[in-house]
Every structure is written in structure tokens, then in C-alpha cells.
Amino acid sequence: MINVTLPDGSKREFADGASPLDVAESISKSLAKKALAARVNGELRDLKRPLDGDATVAIVTDKDADGLELIRHDAAHVLAQAVQALYPDTQVTIGPVIDDGFYYDFARKVPFSTDDFEKIEAKMREIVDADYPIVREVWEKDAAIAEFKRIGEDYKAQIIDDIIPPGEAITLYRQGDWFDLCRGPHLPSTGKLPKAFKLMKMAGAYWRGDSKNEMLQRMYGTAWASEKDLKEHLHRLEEAEKRDHRKLGAQLDLFHLDGMAAAGSVFWHPNGFQIWRQIEAYMRRRLDVSGYQEIKTPQLMDSAQWEKSGHWGKYRENMFIVPDFIPEGDEGVEISVPEDAKLMALKPMNCPAHVEVFKSGQKSYRDLPLRLAEFGCCHRNEPHGAIHGIMRVRQFTQDDAHIFCREDQIVEESIRFCRLLESVYRDFGFEKIAVKLSTRPDVRAGDDATWDRAESGLKAAVDAAGLPCEFLPGEGAFYGPKLEFQLTDAIGRVWQCGTLQLDYVLPERLGAEYTASDGSKQRPVMLHRAILGSMERFIGILIEEFAGAFPMWLAPVQVVVAAISDDAAGQYADEVAAELRKAGLRVEVDRRNETINYKVREHSLAKVPVIAVVGAREAEERKLALRRLGSNGQQIISLDEALVSLADDALPPDLKRAR
RNA sequence: GCCGGCAUAGCUCAGCUGGUAGAGCACCUGAUUUGUAAUCAGGGGGUCACGGGUUCGAGUCCUGUUGCCGGCACCA
């Protein structure tokens, strides 16, 4: 007999060889019908796979996260089966579950087209209707390899050969006349797969994620427990697309991009740059009170400088190189660069220049920690396929700073930084911040004791700021561990923004030193850190986060004074605007010959936070009719009161706190 | 950089199997002076991304280039 413990703590007895399906049936017929798989002693297993002995069993249905994952995994298998049925010249490779769905990588000479999707989806539905039992089979490694080779699936054979240790068994899952290598578990039959799936897009992907390998064809799909969930998901995607910073950037006249004129560089328009200025001003205030000193360093530096820092050797291919010579003056004469022309490079980062500032003059231990900040404009020659809106560009401005300190100051400085970052992100409305701690790689500089201190110091800093943190073992730079702070855009793409990196190497390479209390020369440790990361990327994420409706303190135009008619009301509108501007607000007046309906609509679409409507009545009584973005009502308020309350609303969060 | 898709007015798009371009919005002008999400009328505006080819004739077909989009690779 087998003793089974259920999630509610109750116990039941079953005959030897019983499966989770038997358990489900003993509870209720409807549960057995809804059952997709089971958690047996915590491990996700096939419904019909017999229990090995006494166990705790929880039945998994499509209401569980596990169930949804199974559905997506099965959808991938059904997709592969459908594709091979329709296109026999296709080889299968891998097909994992991802957020909201799945993909499958196929190898086939002829490119698939999204036009094929309808046909493939129809075939997938056929496979569901056929309700093939999905059967688990255990194979010997070599036999499985031989079998996959026999049917021409070279990729599968290679996967087994590489991943499975010799002698170990593997599992195959068979549905109808089709089977795939898979760890499982799976649904009991294809008929259990809800038809709430949809193929989304085609993309290229390298075999094993290595650009030296051939490229496969990746088919992305989404799958859900019900038609309703699928619809909701597609609706969410549509909504998210409307928040795309590239779309809103054009609609709100914030910036434009021109791939011909300047690929990967942003043309900021007055509205967009107003947001930039507000963010920069805010950051300056935060840095000023946090003990940073702002500097400005050269855009172009001699290649010798980059050679010393080590960037020339390793990162040259991503740097913009400028020969230092005077070209021939005549128009039409082809420019030839003299062979002996010195080379200069646009800075891809600010660190070496900051070390130069540190090195100039003498530094004492009394000067440490020295925190040098710069809104540093950097250029990186990014691969063309990497450029994305204003999130990944070739010219960008980092809110960069380097903290030069003694080793025993690292933890304290890291804590201060994490607290500052957390507070800044909260001011911008970000509650959820993903933090990644990348730890020592196999090949590294420095002894283990130093790494121990550095890693635990960073962890302590994250904890002190109250942030959750995920470890990325072995992902650190060779010179030190690093923290990455990530934010997510409208459609769920993750972007690195803030960072904190420990560096013992660059001060050494560039010969930075300070005089210690005993008179000896010592090396400072360098902390590279950025909070926003890049102004461009951060503003891009803000646009998507707020869907263009910026909080008042960031809004390019905070108030539009809209006159109902252009007579006395028009003059009063000018007067109101002047008063509001005196109170420090960014104001525009709309005295155009248009209806008030038209003006309200236009400024609402432009996402102006406050529309102050003034007509004859308001002019007469020296009042304003305030309409706030997102509300239909209006608030009639005296001009004097409005001046105070709007100025208060427009205060940046740090100044609000200090008030 | 790689795979696939796309490129028509400032924007969003239409333009059938080849017969030298069209709508809405925006813009300009006029009328209207308006009470909380589009007042009416008129007008101007396009080397159909760029280069080559096929054809009597190319926005449409072929080809090369560039750029953009979706992924992959990269992201100090």
C-alpha cells in the first residue's frame, strides 16, 4: 500500500502502482478531468506516472502557475509536431517555455513566413482534436541518439550527446506518430491542451546562442488556459504598444531619430529636453547633498590614453576613432588621412578621464572618499542590430560618478550609494527594482579574501537599502563584483539602468595614488557607479512607465491657460500665465480662434497635467477653472489660491521633502 | 554583425493582376468668438528611401545599397 498525503494534510491509502490520476479520481471526477499533472513530493510529474512509494501529492490544474507552464510546454511540442507534419524538410531543436508563451527553434533551408501561421495553427488544433495520449518513455542514451539520427534529427542527437552523461537514461515523450526528447512532465494527452494559443512572430536565433553557429528559425507563440486569458493578453500587448517610447516620443514631440543623418543618436526637441533638464537638475541636487563634486572631462582623448587604460586593446572595435589632422581645404578633393596622423577617440566611458582628475595635484587620505560626478556624454559604436529607439543608442549621457576610496570605506560607500539609488528610483515612481549581484568569475584578479569582502560588502549595501537581490555567479568583471539595477519597459523587456562596480585594476593601470597617514603612497579603490544609467534610456523607460503622462514636476508643459474667447478672457489668460510663470511654472497660453472643446481635447491628448480654462466669468471674478489630466471635473478656484497650490503640485519630490 | 519583414504627403495609411499618385488628420487662408475631448469652407503639399535593370511604359516586377521594425549575438 501507498500512503498519500494531500495538500490539506489529509491522508489516503492507495494500491501499489497507483498514479496521481488515481489520487485525483478518488477526490472527485471533476478534479480528475481538470488534472494536468501533479506535484509529487514537490516534484512536478506526469499524471499517469505511478508513484514510487509514500508521497505528498498535489494535483495541478490550469489554475496553477505550474499548470500554465505545462500548457505552454505542450503547446511547443504540438507546434513542433504540426510543423514537421506540414513541412517534412524541417528539423526540430529546442522549444522552451518563456514569459507568456513559448518558442521553438527549427532548422530548415526555406524561411518560414508569418503567412504560414494560419496553416500551422490549424494543424495544431487538429492535433489537439485527435487527443493523442502523451506517453513517457525511458531510453538508453546511445539508443536514443541512434534513433534520432535514424530519423534525420541531427540537432536532437547532438543535444543528447552533449547534455546527458554517458550511461544515463533519458526520457522521450510520444504523441501519435511524433516524439521529442524531453525531461517532461507533460499533459496526459494533446486533447488537454486548451486551444487558447497563437503564433506571434518569426525570428532568427543562433544554434545554442552562439553567433559562430548557423542560424535557426525561431517561432514564437503565446498560450493560455482559456480563450479569455488569451484575449486579455493580446489586449495588454496592444495597450503596451501604445506606450512605446518611440511612438509617444513623436506624438508628444519629445525627440526624433534619423537613421540616415545620425544613426543611434537622439535629436531632442524642446519638450523632450525640458524633461531631460528637470531630471538633470533633480540629480544635481541629490548629488550635491550626497557629497559628490561635479566635473567635466574631454570628449576626445588621445589613443595613448586609451592604450594605458586598457580599453584600446579590448574595446577599440566599439570606439569612434578620429584622426588628428587638418584635411585639404578644397571642395571635391578627396580626403586622405596621413599615415603618421595621431589617433584620438571619442570617449566610450568617463572612467579614465576621472582618474586623470584624481591624479592631478596631490591626494591625501584626508580627501577620501572623493566622489567625482559627471553627466558624461559617451559614444559607443554599437552593432547596428542592437540600436533600439532611445534605449540603446550610440551617443548617450551617463549620470556617471567614480568614488575613490580606501578599501575599508567600500562597504560604507556602497551602502550610501544603494540608499541614494533606492530613494531616487522611488522619487521617479519605481517601486519594483530588480537587482543583480554578479560575483567572481573563474578568471579573476585579486585574492579570495578580497573578493569575499567585496561581495559581502555589496550584498550588505543592497540589504541596507531594503532591496531584494539575485545572484549571478561568475558574471562579475575580472577586476571586481558588480551590482546591476534593472527596470522594465512597457512590453516587459528588461534594461540595465543603475550599476555599482568595484575596481582595483584601473587605479593601478593609470597610476592613481594618495598619501596615507603614515606618509606612504597607496592605491585608492575605485567605485564606478551610475543611478539612472543613461539619460536617454532612463527617459525612454519613464515615457513608457507613465505612458507619456508625466507627473507635474517632469511635464514639459505643466499648465495650459486656454481662453474661451479671444477678448477680455484672452487678455486675462495672458495675465494668468504671467503670474503662473512668476510662481515658477512652465506655462503656455492658448488664445487661438478655436472652440474650448477643441482646445481641451488637444491639450489632453498632449498630456498636459493641468488645463486652466478662462472665460468672461473667470476674468470678471479673477478665478480659474482647473481641469486635471485624467479627470472630467473642473475646479473653480481663485487665481491667488491656484498660484500657491499649482506651484506646490509642481515641486520636485526632493524639494517637497525639504519644504 | 546574423535571420526575417518593411520603406508612398509632417503623421496614420489606401493604391487590384505594371498604364507616370489618393484619403483622414496636421499645415495655410477665410468665415465663425466659441463654457470643458474634433465649428465650417477653401487651399498648398509627394524624385513613391536611394542606385541599377526588365519593359513602349515601374510606386507596382528583378537586383544592389541604406535605414527602420521583430528577434538572435553583442552591451566595457
Largest interatomic CA distance in chain A: 97
> CB within 8 A of A82, min separation 6: which ones?
A120, A121, A123, A124, A126, A127
The pLDDT value given to residue A167? 81
The pLDDT value given to residue A479? 81
**What average pLDDT does the segment A15-32 reach?**
92
Residue nearest to nucleotide B71 (CA to C1'): A203
Q: Which residue has the higher pLDDT, A115 or A37?
A: A37
Q: Is the peptide bond before A369 cis (omega within 30 degrees of 0)?
A: yes
Per-residue pLDDT tens for A524-567? Answer: 999 999 999 999 999 999 999 999 999 999 999 999 999 999 99
Q: Is the pLDDT of residue A105 over 80?
A: yes
Per-residue pLDDT tens for A247-300? Answer: 999 999 999 999 988 989 999 999 999 999 999 999 999 999 999 999 999 999
Rounded CA-CA distance A283/A397 in Å is 13
The pLDDT value given to residue A332? 64
User: CA-CA distances (angstroms) from residue A69 to A23, A75, A270, A493, A539?
Assistant: 22, 10, 47, 20, 34
The residue among A396, A388, A346, A397 whose CA lies nearest residue A259 is: A388
| Geometric angle at alpha carbon A387, from A383 and A388, rounded to 5° | 160
- For A300, other C-beta atoms within 10 Å of its C-beta total 13
- What are phi and psi for residue A169, nearest 5 degrees? -85, 160
> CB within 8 A of A659, min separation 6: which ones?
A651
Cell numbers given for A619: 476674468
Q: How far is the CA of A611 from the C1' of B41 (A)?
A: 30
Strand B contact with A605 (CB < 7 A) = yes
The residue among A261, A396, A380 whose CA lies nearest residue A311 is: A380
Give the rounded distance of the alpha carbon of A309 from its chain centre. Answer: 30
- What are phi and psi for residue A588, nearest 5 degrees? -125, 150
The pLDDT value given to residue A160? 93
Rounded CA-CA distance A8/A503 in Å is 53
**What average pLDDT does the segment A172-199 reach?**
94
Rounded CA-CA distance A257/A118 in Å is 35
Strand B contact with A392 (CB < 7 A) = yes
Report residues 400-419 of A contacting strand B, contact meaning Cβ closer than 7 Å: none
Q: How far is the CA of A253 from the C1' of B10 (A)?
A: 12
Rounded CA-CA distance A400/A531 in Å is 8
CA A623, A625, A628, A634 torsion: positive or negative? positive
**Most confidently modeled of A46-55, A426-435, A648-657?**
A648-657
Phi-psi category of residue A55: left, alpha or beta, with phi > 0 → left and psi -120 to 50 → alpha: beta
Q: Is the pLDDT of residue A368 over 70?
A: yes
**Most confidently modeled of A41-55, A355-369, A480-494?**
A355-369
Report residues 303-342 of A contacting strand B, contact meaning Cβ closer than 7 Å: 311, 314-315, 318-319
Residue nearest to nucleotide B32 (CA to C1'): A593
Catalytic (active-site) positions of A = 351, 380, 398, 400, 402, 482, 528
Helix (H, G, I), strand (E, B) or coil at A241: helix
**Nearest nucleotide over every DNA/RNA strand to the A602 CA, judged by C1':** B37
**What average pLDDT does the segment A326-339 reach?**
76
Strand B contact with A384 (CB < 7 A) = yes
A129 class by beta-carbon count within 10 Å (0-12 exposed, 13-18 middle, 19+ buried): exposed
Per-residue pLDDT tens for A44-70? Answer: 999 999 999 899 999 999 999 999 999
**What average pLDDT does the segment A311-331 reach?**
86
Strand B contact with A613 (CB < 7 A) = yes
Q: Is the pLDDT of residue A649 over 80?
A: yes
**Nearest nucleotide over every DNA/RNA strand to the A634 CA, judged by C1':** B36
**What average pLDDT does the segment A136-150 reach?**
93
Strand B contact with A382 (CB < 7 A) = yes
Per-residue pLDDT tens for A579-620? Answer: 999 999 999 999 999 999 999 999 999 999 999 999 999 999
Per-residue pLDDT tens for A488-537? Answer: 888 888 999 999 999 988 999 999 999 999 999 999 999 999 999 999 99
Q: Is the pLDDT of residue A206 over 70?
A: yes
Rounded CA-CA distance A500/A414 in Å is 8
A240 class by beta-carbon count within 10 Å (0-12 exposed, 13-18 middle, 19+ buried): middle
For residue A38, the cross-strand partners are A45, A59
For chain A, the straight-line distance linking the first and the last C-alpha, in angstroms and rounded, comes to: 73
pLDDT band at A444 (very low <50, low <70, confident <90, very high): confident
Q: Are A206 and A215 in contact (CB under 8 A)?
A: yes
Report residues 121-180 of A contacting strand B, contact meaning Cβ closer than 7 Å: none
Q: Is the pLDDT of residue A333 over 80?
A: no
Report residues 523-562 of A contacting strand B, contact meaning Cβ closer than 7 Å: 528
Q: Is the pLDDT of residue A173 over 70?
A: yes
Q: How far is the CA of A500 from the C1' of B11 (A)?
A: 42
Helix (H, G, I), strand (E, B) or coil at A402: strand
Strand B contact with A491 (CB < 7 A) = yes
Q: How does the average pLDDT of chain A come out, rounded?
A: 94
**Nearest nucleotide over every DNA/RNA strand to the A203 CA, judged by C1':** B71
pLDDT band at A465 (very low <50, low <70, confident <90, very high): confident
Helix (H, G, I), strand (E, B) or coil at A309: helix
Protein-contacted bases of chain B (C-beta within 7 A): 1-5, 11-12, 31-39, 66-76
Q: Are A156 and A92 in contact (CB under 8 A)?
A: yes
For residue A403, the cross-strand partners are A371, A527
- For A124, other C-beta atoms within 10 Å of its C-beta total 26
- For A307, other C-beta atoms within 10 Å of its C-beta total 12
> CB within 8 A of A538, min separation 6: which ones?
A279, A497, A532
Strand B contact with A49 (CB < 7 A) = no
Report residues 69-108 of A contacting strand B, contact meaning Cβ closer than 7 Å: none
Q: How far is the CA of A593 from the C1' of B29 (A)?
A: 14
pLDDT band at A331 (very low <50, low <70, confident <90, very high): low
Q: How far is the CA of A35 from the C1' of B71 (A)?
A: 35
Rounded CA-CA distance A245/A255 in Å is 10
> For a pLDDT cut of 90, what percent of chain A falls above it?
83
> What count of residues does chain A have?
659
